[in-house]
Structure 1
Amino acid sequence: MAGNVIASRIADFLKKYPPFTALSKEELYTISVEVVVNHFEPGDYVFRQGEEGKGYLFVVKEGAIHLERQEADAVVLVDICDEGDLFGVRAMLSGKPYVFHGRSAEESLIYAIPIAYFKPLMESHSQIAMFFAAGLAGGQANVLDANVAKRIPYQDSGALLNWNRPLEKTHGALVWMSPDESIKQVAITMSDKRIGSMVLRHSTGDIAGIVTDTDFREKVSTGKVSIEAPVKEIMSGEVITMPLGQPLSSYLLKMLRYKIRHICITADREPVGMLSERDLMAAHQNHPVTLVYAMEEAATFQRLIDLRNQADDLIRFYLEQQVSISLTASLTTHINDVIIHRVIDMALQEMQENSGPQPVGFSWVCLGSEGRSEQLIRTDQDNAIIYEDVEGSTADKEKVQQYFLELAGKVNQMLAEAGFEYCPADMMAGNPKWCQPLSEWKKYFSGWIRQPQEKALMLSTIFFDYRRVYGSEVLITQLKDHLKKEINEERIFLNFLAKNALKNPPPLSFFKNFVVERSGEHQHEFDIKARAMMPLVDIARVLSLETGQLDEMNTVARYHLLAKEEPKRQELYHAAADSYEYLMRIRALNGFIHHDSGRFITIESLGKLDRQILRNTFEPIYQLQQMLELRYQLSYFN
């Protein structure tokens, strides 16, 4: 009876802390029965660096444990573990000796959980695997701890950068079978080969689909499909493939984007192996995937805000460590998209309770830098709602618009509370003008194109860089098709848009000095957005619209696509892409330093090398503007 009471108390303690929160009451009790309770005096060692693993995972019940790394002439404090923290994880995962000392800094009570009982639970719970893979336990870099101040920062400077190294090989050769094989035979083969997924191929060699452990659990174990049925009845027909040799970050982003856990790796377009989420985690890298998952599962809006605030530290680290801008921007975009998704879900749930379900389908779109997936720091909101056309009376149409305006108002407010300020120009979905049915948006686009006055051109530069973040893809496709049709019929619009792209001359004076603001709040500061970034953005947009390329909004990606379209100007377009990436980095870092948008830079604050690099980024602007002048015969458009 006493043993049962102790086990119950241990279970009650553990269930308050991750990753034990993912376990059921029965699972918690099962491991709690096996827990060994240890008492340590100040200065006692739980384990020493280089010692063989003791076969336990340790949890601090009371007190504090210092994780220390023994170096040649010093002991370096790596981490401090207090109540609820886990440590001894690396040895558990790798089976290798301890890489740190675990020393009691004060009188401490430690729960030792036998690995033999805990590991099976870790392997069957993806949330627990993610917890350890993301480095959330003691001695692993912590990116999600809500109480960061209690930890002494320790970061292997190469850990995040290693995401840029290419995938050199897969874990074993590809194992595949026919989609006509029985589920039972496929399951036996997967068990024998100790693999969690299998590609299914036709006799011709073409990929038919993929089957994973999840399919067996959800479709076979539940009795929905007989184990004797052909495996094609439970397979997923869509198989995501990527070539070998890509940076690890590329595979990670693909998994995040498609919410999948397996990617089929190809070489010369032939499947050669599988890459799983667990394979990526096995390297014990510090990565943002757990941050994203935690945001997706945040129980409260405040938790969502806290997690988004923590993401800024990760983004700044990436920028300072020269991680590629494309990776950093993609991760930032995905993090922002997740918070927008959650906020809209929360607002819709509240609307459902008070005003009923949404009346028609809709799309929430982001505009401007967020629409182009270029927002590295949180700036003001630019968004809109496109909803399906409504049949019926004027009153019916107004009622539908009021529903979406109420939704937009809630979302705009919540995003503002999360650090995305209201747009000063009110370019937001909560503005009735930017919350309209598809037919009205088509009229907007047609009007701007067919009557390209100054305001129409300004609105075009904002609204033509739109990206769906939530809702119907069909509405976006229809609007895109309409835009393409209108531009093809009114090619003269591109001349006006090109003229508008030249409104900001190259940002160097005749004497090669930076053109700075002459008056106002930012006198003597350099406007990196208006004088350097926007010319590159505007030119890329014009040229992309001319080629009919409306699927890619990102400025860097646009220039790379243009380089393929026009090989003769390939060098110039690649230089423009490089320049824009540098400008994005320097603006974002300036913003993090000054806690603002980073738009205005004091040139004297830059080192000599940075000033020279900044000057060099202006050369492509000058060349591109000259090219536009000639291509669109802009001397005739005064």
Structure 2
Amino acid sequence: MKNSIAERIADFLKNHPPFCSLSLADLIVISKESQVLHLEKKQVLFNINDQPHPFFYIVKDGAVALSVVYDTEKVLIDECDEGDIVGLRPFFAKDAYLMTAEASEESLLYAIPIAIFKPYVFENAEVSSFLLESFASNTRNPYDKENKGKLISESVSYNERDDTIQYFKPISYTPNPVTASRTDSVKSIAETMTRRKIGSVIIQENQLPIGIITDKDLRSKIATGLFTIESNAEQIMSTPVITVRANGSVAETQLIMLQHHIGHLCVTTDGSSESEIMGIISEHDVVVAQANNPGVLVKQIKRAESALELKTVRDNLTKLIKNALSEDIPIAHICQIVGEINRAITTRAIELSIIKIGEHPPVPFAWLNIGSQGRKEQLLLTDQDNALVFEDVAEERYDIVQKYFLLLADNVTHVLNVVGYEFCPAGMMASNPLWCKSLKEWNAQYNTWIHSPAEKGILMCSIFFDYDFVYGDKVLVDAITANIFKNIKDNQIFFAYLGSDSLKNPPPLGFFRQFLVEKDGEHKNTFDVKSRGLMPLIDAARLLSLDREITDVNNTLSRFRELAALEPQNAAIYEACSDAFSVLLKFRTEEGFASGSGGRYLDLNKLTKLDKVKLKNAFHPIHDVQEILKTRFQLTYFT
């Protein structure tokens, strides 16, 4: 008699690794012993410190969140979707779970018996390799050529260099760990561990690691009566000590722990047991390193049902940015990750707003982020700048169509305000009728800016040349882009006025290389890093990119890279501009976090001598690139 439930389970498993490496006959055998598990939303599958189940699980429908408690806060580590495996720990370690697994929504899981499945792991190298790699790196599918090791799954992807922000960044370790000698008593070591609230002590001889005693050793060897509390460290220590170098990655560290079935690694100067002890890494350190990763944040965004839930994600993003800065992750990588997460937040805000209105958009439309959001350079919670374009409609329908989109935009901007993005003081938002209009009107607006570039118009329009498509119909945005480049081609007056505006902030150093600071007002004697440092580079990159017809590249760093490739004769200047922009943006971001502000004004008295030198060196490329602007666009008479 056929077992229809087993057949349905097998039919599902065969489409997902590692089960796809097994024969259908084997899958039927496994499925007959498997169970179907239904979880209500918020129902816990297992908790931290629970003893391992005799099953591991694969998500059939719904989602399961994995979390830890860190500094008394619940921290989401990952969310497992359809086809993802949950609870692999019993395969590789016999101690308790390190995370809590809880249904994010109503979910259906298949529980696979470990005893039944384990023989297939040993017999099939592909299965065992998949499980080990997946568990070590937290990569949902390490065999996926498209998404292997990517930080953000589904619709968001990055190049491999961005992996440094997550699992391939150096693991943090605890320096100067507590040590003891081989002749010290276990009692004294246990008392030290209790007093210092630590889970391990390294046994050393001449500063070299010869063993380690952990909580596990005390439980398994002392509490069981195998040895007395008066025994020497040498009698119960685990040896040899597994040692690693200081700059090992998160994934590499976890893989070593899994391979040796241990929870602690000793860090030494050269990574061997023959060199001096530097620190210790615990399994807890690995878990913490995986918290607040971008992939989890994007999954949280997609499931958010309110503005407050999106705010929680943005708060966690702030932690990610701070951690990345402290680890010296390149600012370009941080901008790319943050830009995509900001875009995902806006996308979800639009989706929630459409649901709230209860009516689908009457015609196709596109939402644009502009300014720093459009350039993906908004690392701090500064004000929002956005716009909306909708498909051309008959005149008699225009008012009612625009009314819908103004209502939509008003909802979206209010959601973003709750998230933490202040309303634009100048009203440059899609909720303003000036910036919410049809394609025909947008093209007419750009044509006015381009062909009648009075000074006021240039000041107003420059921000609108930094736009990023976020949501809707990209065809509308492409039409605007095509119209712009058609109208600026060989338009000397436009480039002259825009160029003149780009030169309004010369290099910010006076005589004797003194910083030009604010002379009066609220920010007297501070340095305006935005206007005097960042904006000259942003303006130059924008102008030169428009001149060279560089499309779909709006980030300042990316623009300078494109320019360097197109103009080898100026490559050194453009590369220097890119480096300078990175330095200045990092200064602004760190100041913003330190002062709880937009980071625009720096108190020079609080900077070290080295920081002041870095700032001054970042100003040289401003002079050089502005000389290129003056020559190329014949700006002598405008300056």
**TM-score strictly above 0.5:** yes
- C-alpha spacing 1:417/1:119, structure 2 compared with 1 (3 Å): farther
- From 257, 261, 265, the equivalent of 2:156 is 257
- C-alpha spacing 1:564/1:297, structure 2 compared with 1 (3 Å): same
Where 2:521 maps in the other structure, the secondary structure is: coil
- From 341, 353, 363, the equivalent of 2:347 is 341
Contact 2:305 2:352 in 1 (8 A): no
- Structure 1 CA distance, aligned partners of 2:50 and 2:462? 62
- Structure 2 CA distance, aligned partners of 1:627 and 1:295? 43
Residue 363 (structure 2) pairs with residue 360 (structure 1): yes
CA-CA distance at 1:100 after TM superposition:
9.8
Matches within 5 A, 1:226-265: 251-252=150-151, 256-257=155-156
- C-alpha spacing 1:407/1:91, structure 2 compared with 1 (3 Å): closer
Residue 286 (structure 2) pairs with residue 288 (structure 1): no
Contact 2:381 2:598 in 1 (8 A): yes
Residues 281-301 of structure 1 deviation map (CA, whole Å, 9 limit, x = unaligned):
997772320111011112333
Matches within 5 A, 1:513-524: 513-524=514-525
Contact 2:591 2:599 in 1 (8 A): yes
- C-alpha spacing 1:309/1:446, structure 2 compared with 1 (3 Å): same
- C-alpha spacing 1:95/1:597, structure 2 compared with 1 (3 Å): same
CA-CA distance at 1:453 after TM superposition:
0.9
Contact 2:151 2:157 in 1 (8 A): no
- From 116, 129, 139, the equivalent of 2:114 is 116
CA-CA distance at 1:495 after TM superposition:
1.6
Residues 600-636 of structure 1 deviation map (CA, whole Å, 9 limit, x = unaligned):
1111212221111111110000111122122222112
Residues 128-151 of structure 1 deviation map (CA, whole Å, 9 limit, x = unaligned):
xxxx9999xxxx9xxxxxxxxxxx
CA-CA distance at 1:326 after TM superposition:
1.8
Where 1:531 maps in the other structure, the secondary structure is: helix
- Structure 1 CA distance, aligned partners of 2:602 and 2:481? 36
Where does residue 244 of structure 2 map in the other structure? none
- Structure 2 CA distance, aligned partners of 1:398 and 1:84? 45
- Structure 1 CA distance, aligned partners of 2:512 and 2:117? 68
- C-alpha spacing 1:37/1:314, structure 2 compared with 1 (3 Å): closer
Deviating 4+ runs (over 3 angstroms): 35-38, 53-57, 77-86, 89-102, 117-120, 132-135, 251-256, 279-285
Where 1:588 maps in the other structure, the secondary structure is: helix
- Structure 2 CA distance, aligned partners of 1:514 and 1:83? 43
Contact 2:53 2:90 in 1 (8 A): no
- From 17, 20, 27, the equivalent of 2:37 is 27
Contact 2:335 2:379 in 1 (8 A): yes
- C-alpha spacing 1:84/1:420, structure 2 compared with 1 (3 Å): closer
- Structure 2 CA distance, aligned partners of 1:350 and 1:465? 30
Residue 573 (structure 2) pairs with residue 575 (structure 1): no
- From 373, 387, 390, the equivalent of 2:390 is 387
- C-alpha spacing 1:556/1:27, structure 2 compared with 1 (3 Å): same
Contact 1:528 1:599 in 2 (8 A): yes
Contact 1:332 1:376 in 2 (8 A): yes
Contact 2:308 2:418 in 1 (8 A): no
Residues 472-495 of structure 1 deviation map (CA, whole Å, 9 limit, x = unaligned):
100000000000000015233112
- Structure 2 CA distance, aligned partners of 1:85 and 1:312? 16
CA-CA distance at 1:46 after TM superposition:
8.5
Where does residue 311 of structure 1 map in the other structure? 317
* Structure 1 stretch displaced more, 568-577 or 300-309: 300-309
Contact 1:367 1:382 in 2 (8 A): yes
Where does residue 376 of structure 2 map in the other structure? 373
Residue 463 (structure 2) pairs with residue 462 (structure 1): yes
- C-alpha spacing 1:280/1:423, structure 2 compared with 1 (3 Å): farther
Where does residue 302 of structure 1 map in the other structure? 308
Aligned residues: 436
CA-CA distance at 1:596 after TM superposition:
1.2
Residue 552 (structure 2) pairs with residue 551 (structure 1): yes
Residue 336 (structure 2) pairs with residue 330 (structure 1): yes
Structure 1 letter corresponding to 2:302: E
- C-alpha spacing 1:29/1:421, structure 2 compared with 1 (3 Å): closer
- C-alpha spacing 1:340/1:435, structure 2 compared with 1 (3 Å): same
Matches within 5 A, 1:22-171: 26-28=36-38, 92-93=88-89, 95-97=91-93, 116=114
Where does residue 562 of structure 2 map in the other structure? 561
Structure 2 letter corresponding to 1:474: V
- Structure 1 CA distance, aligned partners of 2:354 and 2:112? 45
- Structure 1 CA distance, aligned partners of 2:373 and 2:472? 17
Contact 1:358 1:403 in 2 (8 A): yes
Contact 2:517 2:528 in 1 (8 A): yes
- Structure 1 CA distance, aligned partners of 2:506 and 2:398? 46
CA-CA distance at 1:543 after TM superposition:
0.6
Where 2:356 maps in the other structure, the secondary structure is: helix
- Structure 2 CA distance, aligned partners of 1:621 and 1:535? 7
Residue ranges of structure 1 left out of the alignment (5+ in a row):
1-24, 39-44, 48-52, 58-66, 68-76, 103-112, 124-131, 141-158, 164-169, 172-194, 198-239, 242-247, 261-278
- C-alpha spacing 1:494/1:27, structure 2 compared with 1 (3 Å): same
Contact 1:134 1:289 in 2 (8 A): no
* Structure 1 stretch displaced more, 590-599 or 292-301: 292-301
- Structure 1 CA distance, aligned partners of 2:526 and 2:329? 27
Residues 494-526 of structure 1 deviation map (CA, whole Å, 9 limit, x = unaligned):
121111100001111112111111111111111
Where 1:511 maps in the other structure, the secondary structure is: helix
- Structure 1 CA distance, aligned partners of 2:440 and 2:615? 44
Structure 2 letter corresponding to 1:432: P
CA-CA distance at 1:368 after TM superposition:
0.4
CA-CA distance at 1:95 after TM superposition:
4.2
Residue 509 (structure 2) pairs with residue 508 (structure 1): yes
- Structure 2 CA distance, aligned partners of 1:332 and 1:117? 43
- Structure 2 CA distance, aligned partners of 1:450 and 1:293? 45
- C-alpha spacing 1:28/1:458, structure 2 compared with 1 (3 Å): same
- Could you tell me the TM-score, scaled by structure 1's length? 0.61
Calculate percent identity across the aligned residue pairs: 33
- C-alpha spacing 1:36/1:365, structure 2 compared with 1 (3 Å): closer
CA-CA distance at 1:83 after TM superposition:
14
Where does residue 475 of structure 1 map in the other structure? 476
Where 2:512 maps in the other structure, the secondary structure is: coil
Structure 1 letter corresponding to 2:114: A
- Structure 1 CA distance, aligned partners of 2:427 and 2:591? 26
Structure 1 letter corresponding to 2:578: A
- C-alpha spacing 1:620/1:85, structure 2 compared with 1 (3 Å): closer
- C-alpha spacing 1:36/1:369, structure 2 compared with 1 (3 Å): closer
- Structure 2 CA distance, aligned partners of 1:428 and 1:375? 16
- Structure 1 CA distance, aligned partners of 2:439 and 2:323? 41
Structure 1 letter corresponding to 2:427: D
Residues 82-102 of structure 1 deviation map (CA, whole Å, 9 limit, x = unaligned):
99999xx99944844579999
- C-alpha spacing 1:28/1:118, structure 2 compared with 1 (3 Å): farther
Structure 1 letter corresponding to 2:443: K
- Structure 2 CA distance, aligned partners of 1:54 and 1:579? 54
- C-alpha spacing 1:481/1:90, structure 2 compared with 1 (3 Å): closer
CA-CA distance at 1:574 after TM superposition:
0.6
Contact 2:151 2:158 in 1 (8 A): no
Where 1:341 maps in the other structure, the secondary structure is: helix
- Structure 2 CA distance, aligned partners of 1:37 and 1:630? 67
CA-CA distance at 1:357 after TM superposition:
2.5
- C-alpha spacing 1:481/1:614, structure 2 compared with 1 (3 Å): same
- C-alpha spacing 1:80/1:382, structure 2 compared with 1 (3 Å): closer
Contact 2:307 2:418 in 1 (8 A): no
Contact 1:55 1:92 in 2 (8 A): no
Contact 2:526 2:604 in 1 (8 A): yes
